[in-house]
Amino acid sequence: MKILVTGSSGQLGQCIQKIQRNYGALDFYFTNSEELNITKKEQIQNLFSNKHFDFVINCAAYTNVEQAEKEPKKAFWINAEGVKNLSEVCHKENSILIHISTDYVFDGEKDTPYTEEDIPNPINEYGKSKLAGEQYIQQILEKYFIIRTSWLYSEYGHNFFKTILKKSETEKELMITTSEIGTPTNANDLARFIVDLIVNNCEEYGIYHFSNLGEATWYDFAEEILRLSGKLENIILKKTDNYLTFAQRPKYSVLSRQKANKIFNSNIPDWKESIKKLIRFEKSNVKIK
């Protein structure tokens, strides 16, 4: 089973690289944006002319929500047109596409978790570009998995988890917003879920929602990171409901995981438990910087 992973230098791609040794029957081929630019269809075609892939896990994306408001064309070029290129090549080569999308395709006006059947209505350019990518996949492919996730963090890359830990070393006070509710999701858990799709030979194609269990504000997320890392007593953590951002963000973007749990029985951990596990792992390996 040959699997192409695009955008492998990002945090999710690195999490998949970390667990690949646990799946000896799977042959992973990792590419970063310099090795494979998905906005250039000929590069994808050239790669497939030399190798056949049973699955393509697309981790390549434009993810800067704030900057997307200032350069929406670039966001759409990567998140929509690049995904269209991948979809067209996957269709031609009979490869199954596993694509990572976002809770930001929703407007946040609900007060109960979003299901896969809820109608998307993005309120920022990032969300609009990701929805456009989803629509290309649905138009072009029959065999695909679109996995929407939320508030990703890990020991890799730039994310809220690492930012809070870093700031706790140099700042005495942090102001964190309470105006958004979602679910922090450990990218390591998402990586395992994605590989489970392949290992379990799942043919229930379509859209899935995956995040850790529970819900939180960004303040709750920061408080739990500091508490579990033993740094909460050393910093003043303050709530604010007036945190200004350039991009409008959904007030509530919790995802329903019932579909994922029903099919895979994947024992998705609670968001607090997943943070605890990562901090324990990182302390033992001294990797968080």
Q: What is the pLDDT of residues 131-182, one digit of tens each?
A: 999 999 999 999 999 999 999 999 999 999 999 999 999 999 999 999 999 9
Residue range 241-246: average pLDDT? 78
pLDDT at 236 over 50: yes
Task: Examine residue 180 and state whether it is found in any structural domain, yes or no.
Answer: no
Task: Examine residue 278 and state whether it is found in any structural domain, yes or no.
Answer: no
DSSP secondary structure, 230-278, as one string: T-GGGSEEEEES----SS---SB-PBP-HHHHHHH---PPBHHHHHHHH
pLDDT digits over 275-289, tens only?
Answer: 999 998 776 665 544
pLDDT digits over 191-202, tens only?
Answer: 999 999 999 999
Task: Examine residue 230 and state whether it is found in any structural domain, yes or no.
Answer: no
| Per-residue pLDDT at 289 | 44
Rounded Cα distance between 69 and 72, Å, is 6
pLDDT at 109 over 60: yes
Type of residue found at 82: G
Question: What CATH number is attached to the domain comprising 13?
Answer: 3.40.50.720
Task: Examine residue 84 and state whether it is found in any structural domain, yes or no.
Answer: yes
Task: Examine residue 205 and state whether it is found in any structural domain, yes or no.
Answer: yes
Domain total in the chain: 1
| Per-residue pLDDT at 266 | 61
Task: Examine residue 119 and state whether it is found in any structural domain, yes or no.
Answer: yes
Catalytic residue set:
126
Task: Examine residue 123 and state whether it is found in any structural domain, yes or no.
Answer: yes
pLDDT at 243 over 80: no
pTM, two decimals, is: 0.95
Query: Which range marks the domain in which residue 55 is found?
Result: 2-154+186-212+255-269
Task: Examine residue 259 and state whether it is found in any structural domain, yes or no.
Answer: yes
Helix, strand, coil share of the chain (percent; to 5): 45, 20, 35
* The token pair that represents 274 in the structure block: 């997943």
